[in-house]
Amino acid sequence: MGSIQQQTQAIRDSWLRRGIASPGNFALMLGTFILFPFAARWTDAFKFGSIDLDSPLHTRAIVRFCLFLLVFEWAWFLIAWFGIRRFGKVTFAELVGGSWQRASRVFVDVGIALGVLVVLLVLGTGMQQLLSRFEAPSAPLHSMVPRNVLEASAFLAAALTAGFVEEFVFRGYLQRQLTAWSGSVVLGSALQILLFIQGHYFQGLIRLIPVGVFGLLFTLLALWRKSLRPGMISHGLGDGFSPILFLVKHI
Burial of 241 (0-12, 13-18, 19+ CB in 10 A): middle
Least confident of 57-61, 73-77, 182-186: 57-61
Q: Are the beta carbons of 195 and 170 closer than 8 angstroms? A: yes
Phi and psi of 106, rounded to 5°?
-65, -45
Identity of the residue numbered 182: S
DSSP structural state of residue 171: I
133 touches 159 (CB < 8 A) = no
pLDDT at 198: 87
pLDDT digits (tens, 9 = 90+) for 5-28: 654 455 445 555 678 999 999 999
Q: In a 3-state reduction of DSSP, which class is residue 193?
A: helix
Report, as an integer, the average pLDDT of 23-42.
93
Whether residue 89 contacts residue 206, with contact meaning beta carbons closer than 8 Å, is answered with no
Position 183 scores a pLDDT of 92
Q: Tell me: pLDDT of 204 over 90.
A: no
Tens digit of pLDDT for each residue in 56-68? Answer: 888 999 999 999 9
